[in-house]
Structure 1
Amino acid sequence: MSFRTFESASIGNGIHHVTVKSAALHRRADISFYVPPDAAVEKLPLIILLHGVYGSHWAWLYKGRAHEVLDRLIKEENFPPMMLAMPSDGLWGDGSGYVRHRDADYASWIVDEVPDAAAEIDARCLGATRFISGLSMGGYGALRLGLLNPKKFTAISAHSSITYVPPQMRDFVEESLVEFEITETDPLAVIECAKLAPRLPHLRFDCGSEDILIEHNRTLHNDLQAAGIPHVYEEFPGGHTWDYWHEHLADTLRFFRACLTL
């Protein structure tokens, strides 16, 4: 896929900011990328990190310091270099939910266009293993889009996830459920997407024991168990905070590294 317009700026130390004209969204959209400097590899696995409500493409980079977590693992744990793609959700309302609306396809933006933009920054991600992760609303996006696209994503890892959009977004966003004008034909509940998948990517998710979404995550875990769907679920101390997500992004990255050899 080619973009009608593609504006990029490298600000040094492997960080790139990009604005493209998105065919899926019918407007411009932003992505931040991180490529570890001196990554001497032929193929560069791609990790898409999705932000939560109110956020944008800079959230994982500057609030989550995702690149610092990756750099630390490369240095301390002989972690293979990977590319981080951190897109905006399309900036609809307080959060698009990463689903198809009547006026824009926020799912296709992530699944189809973000990897194409990544290849414009570093072609080594073409044909490389692809992963998806996110937090809160972005955790939902990672779970749902990963499960619905098992040929495109090798593994999914989510943090503090909403598990059903739009109902569980009611307490977070200003927009009413009707205003979303969702036109999806695939299921919206994560558990139904998992049951629908002909084959599953490797799947893990976690949640803080003091998180406002903990019961939704426990229910998803129990429902996956009841359906016999393999997954890893973990709970850690903590709430719905960037301190939690920054700390446990390392668990996601380690899970993805393990999936490279499976």
Structure 2
Amino acid sequence: MPFRTLEISFPEFAPKGISFVTVKSAALKRRVDLSLYVPPSAPQGPLPLVTLLHGVYGSHWAWLFKGGAHRVLDRLMAEEELPPMMLAMPSDGLWGDGSAYARHAEADYHRWIIEEVPAAATLVDPRVAHASHFIAGLSMGGYGALRLGALHPEKFAAISAHSSCTDIAHMQGFVEETTEQFQLTEEAPMPVIECLKQNASRLPPLRFDCGQEDLLIEHNRTLHHQLGEANIAHVYEEFPGGHTWEYWNEHLADSLRFFGKTLG
């Protein structure tokens, strides 16, 4: 087993289809949590895995109990025949106001997402082991999804993001900690555009969106233009709305539809 310890909630006490998981992470050198959702109606056979990354101040429960991610998935399955998927919603590791899903001197939040979250999901439901994997996120989590997806294109069948920071420097408007306090040990670039350019020829399908009243809208527009100048295929969309859970609850459906299209 990839974890020294693994605790899984009992299904009779948790909301239907939801599991709460705590593992002892070698990457983080401590225990860490993630929430999982498997639609109760999912048939036997390969089960695609969607990793959803939360934003600053949040934790593993945010996509479920502020974003209603499981209900969005259920609705799309019922109304639009979206294929069943597992949702994996990890904590970012709970460093400061947000770890940026990056490598710090004291813990590897990057490795936690890329290696350990899929491993934990597979232990809970082995059907995800041989199925497509996707990554998405909001705000800081959008930054993590875009950056980690770009750096590990072989691991994901598609990437999506909402209301994203596009460089770790953009977190300074949200977090208490300074960039220096992160004590980053990343070897890869921190700006999303540099990571996408680095693996431009190997990127899976890519999309991102932002609300027109969002304080991060200009950063997203800039990334869109940079990708166009670099001839990197992508989908960029703007919608009414701001940096809110109402926006993310509505537009998570766009990510899930995008992922569903890759499954044929």
TM-score of the superposition, structure 2-length normalised?
0.97
Find 1:255's aligned residue among 231, 255, 258: 258
1:54-112 per-residue CA deviation (whole Å, 9 max, x = no partner) reads 00000000000000000001111111100000000000000000000001000100000
State the 4+ residue runs in structure 1 displaced beyond 3 angstroms: none
1:181 is aligned to 2:183: yes
Q: Aligned partners of 1:186, 1:122: CA distance in 2, in Å?
A: 32
Equivalent positions of 1:71-90 (< 5 A) are 71-90=74-93
Equivalent positions of 1:121-132 (< 5 A) are 121-132=124-135
Q: Aligned partners of 2:178, 2:193: CA distance in 1, in Å?
A: 23
- Give the C-alpha shift of residue 25 in structure 1: 0.3
Q: Aligned partners of 1:123, 1:12: CA distance in 2, in Å?
A: 21
Q: Aligned partners of 1:246, 1:122: CA distance in 2, in Å?
A: 25
Number of residue pairs aligned between Structure 1 and Structure 2: 260
Of 36-45 and 47-56, the range deviating more from structure 2: 36-45
Q: Aligned partners of 1:158, 1:177: CA distance in 2, in Å?
A: 22
Q: Which residue of 2 aligns with 1:59?
A: 62
Q: Aligned partners of 2:262, 2:140: CA distance in 1, in Å?
A: 24
Tell me, what secondary structure is at the counterpart of 2:96?
A: coil
- Give the C-alpha shift of residue 259 in structure 1: 1.4
Structure 1: runs of 5 or more not aligned? none
Q: Which residue of 1 aligns with 2:227?
A: 224
In the alignment, residue 219 of structure 2 is paired with which amino acid? H
Find 1:18's aligned residue among 18, 21, 25: 21
Q: Aligned partners of 1:2, 1:109: CA distance in 2, in Å?
A: 12
1:172-193 per-residue CA deviation (whole Å, 9 max, x = no partner) reads 0011111000000011100000
- Give the C-alpha shift of residue 2 in structure 1: 1.4
Tell me, what secondary structure is at the counterpart of 2:20?
A: strand
In the alignment, residue 172 of structure 2 is paired with which amino acid? R
- Give the C-alpha shift of residue 12 in structure 1: 3.7
Structure 2: runs of 5 or more not aligned? none
Q: Aligned partners of 2:52, 2:81: CA distance in 1, in Å?
A: 22
1:151 is aligned to 2:154: yes
Equivalent positions of 1:202-221 (< 5 A) are 202-221=205-224
Q: Aligned partners of 1:127, 1:216: CA distance in 2, in Å?
A: 36
1:39 is aligned to 2:51: no
Q: Aligned partners of 1:188, 1:175: CA distance in 2, in Å?
A: 17
Q: Which residue of 2 aligns with 1:111?
A: 114
Overall identity of the aligned pairs, in %: 66
Q: Aligned partners of 1:93, 1:47: CA distance in 2, in Å?
A: 25
Find 2:173's aligned residue among 166, 171, 174: 171
- Give the C-alpha shift of residue 38 in structure 1: 2.5
In the alignment, residue 220 of structure 1 is paired with which amino acid? L
Q: Aligned partners of 1:250, 1:17: CA distance in 2, in Å?
A: 23
Q: Which residue of 2 aligns with 1:5?
A: 5
- Give the C-alpha shift of residue 41 in structure 1: 3.2
Find 1:201's aligned residue among 201, 204, 227: 204
Q: Which residue of 1 aligns with 2:247?
A: 244
In the alignment, residue 198 of structure 2 is paired with which amino acid? L
